[in-house]
Amino acid sequence: MKNKMKTLNLVLKHKWYDMIDRGEKPEEYREIKPYWEKRLIDYKRLSAYYEEHYKEIRIKQFFFPHRQPIEDICHAFSRGYTHVRFFRGYTSTTMTFELKDIDMGIGNPEWGAPTDRPVFIIKLGERV
């Protein structure tokens, strides 16, 4: 049985699109805000995990307060995207990549990430 392709569609400014197209930028960033949380993370599954592992998570938070537990597991609760399709602005020009992972952290400012806060990091695989 063949795996079904689930594609995340993202619109990029020309600068970032062109950098990815040339192979200079291997990841894309999105702010950690409710809109992107809903699009990128399956919070229903994540909530169920928290309910089941609440005690374990609280213990980890006590002993490792500098780490946020969602950072450890956000990639495990993604919405199941297998590919990402980039649009060059609001045009019909596109390119598609395999999606390696979605993580949270500090991105590269030279690739458009903010310097003062973590972001969702969409890591790209091979171009399709």
Identify whether 32 is part of a domain: yes
Give the pLDDT confidence of 27-81 residue by residue, as tens digits. 999 998 888 888 888 777 766 766 666 666 566 666 665 555 555 556 566 788 9
pTM of the model: 0.77
Q: Residue 29 belongs to what domain range?
A: 7-41+78-127
* pLDDT reported for residue 1: 44
What does the pLDDT read at residue 74?
60
> Quick check: 103 pLDDT over 80?
yes
Flag whether 122 is in a domain. yes
Q: What average pLDDT does the chain have?
A: 84
> Which residue's entry shows tokens 């990091």?
121
Name the domain count of the chain.
Answer: 1
Residue 123: inside a domain, yes or no? Answer: yes
Is 115 domain-assigned?
yes
Is residue 72 in some structural domain?
Answer: no
Percent of the chain at pLDDT exceeding 90 = 50
> Which CATH number goes with the domain that contains 117?
2.30.130.30
3-class secondary structure for the chain? CCCCCCEEEEEECHHHHHHHHCCCCCEEEEECCHHHHHHHECHHHHHHHHHHCHHHHHHHHHHCCCCCHHHHHHHHHECCCCEEEEEECCCCCEEEEEEEEEEEECCCHHHCCCCCCCEEEEEEEEEC
